[in-house]
Amino acid sequence: EATLEGILWWLGMHAGAMISWQTGILMPFALQNLEANAKAAAAGLPLPHIVTPSFQAHYHIGGTMLALVIIMLFFTKSAHLRQIGRLALVPAIFGIWEPMWFGAPFALNPIFFIPLVLTEVVTMGLTYVLMYFNIIGRTYVLSLWTIPAPLGAFLGAGDIRNTIWNLVLIGITFAIWYPFFVVYDRQLLEKERATGVSEAA
């Protein structure tokens, strides 16, 4: 699911609305898992499921996109990317990444295909493993994707370790995307210099 979602995002399709565990066609199954986890938590029993809407909301690229804004604001030189970073900052805090997705753009951008797909697989894959071994808490509360991710990660599981892990994932996302941004930034910078666009814009 994570791989397919990354591909759909790159193709310009809203994968979250189509197939995701939090808002797409898989959501009914994820909600059943969340209900079972909530009942287990109320009874003081181990939580039986990992995949819930809250699992995906704060541990995939939508929950770690602040890393992309940080790169654009502080680690790029092109006027275009810096402007997109400024415009995307507040929406990104609340899990909205369309300004970056269309503005950079990420959709149909061959440079960003690999990090887009890889981030989905790595962040959710690692989170699944940590929850499987109970290193971080499994989710049993519906924590919506519009809640700032570090807070949402805590609310979904009631475990501060989840917030710490979300911050680690932001760092991992930064490491995945940074080399690709360097390449794209150079391309944009060359075009801006050729057309007389100021780097300080």
What's the token pair of residue 35?
Answer: 């209900």
pLDDT at residue 21, rounded to an integer: 60
One DSSP character per residue, 87-136 reads: HHHHHHHTT--HHHHHHTT-TT-GGGHHHHHHHHHHHHHHHHHHHHTTSS
Would you state the pLDDT for residue 190? 93
pLDDT tens sequence across 101-151: 889 998 889 999 999 889 988 999 999 999 999 999 999 999 988 999 999
Q: Are 24 and 17 in contact, with CB atoms under 8 Å apart? A: yes
Q: What is the pLDDT of residue 62?
A: 77
Residue 167 has what pLDDT?
Answer: 96
Q: What pLDDT sits at residue 28?
A: 86
pLDDT of residue 23: 64
pLDDT attached to residue 200: 45
What is the distance between the alpha carbons of residues 168 and 154, in angstroms, rounded to a whole number? 14
105 prior amide bond cis, ω within 30? yes
- Joined tokens for residue 54: 């809250």
Please, are residues 112 and 184 in contact by the beta-carbon 8 Å criterion?
yes
Two structure tokens written together for 53: 């809407």
| Residues of the chain falling short of pLDDT 50 | 199-201
pTM of the model: 0.89
Place of tokens 């109970």: 134
* Total residues found in the chain within this entry: 201
Q: What is the pLDDT of residue 31?
A: 92
Angle between helical axes of 2-10 and 113-132 (0-180°, round to 10) = 160
Quote the pLDDT of residue 20.
Answer: 65
Tell me the helix, strand and coil percentages in the chain, rounded to 5.
70, 0, 30
Query: Do the Cβ atoms of 180 and 61 come closer than 8 Å?
Result: no
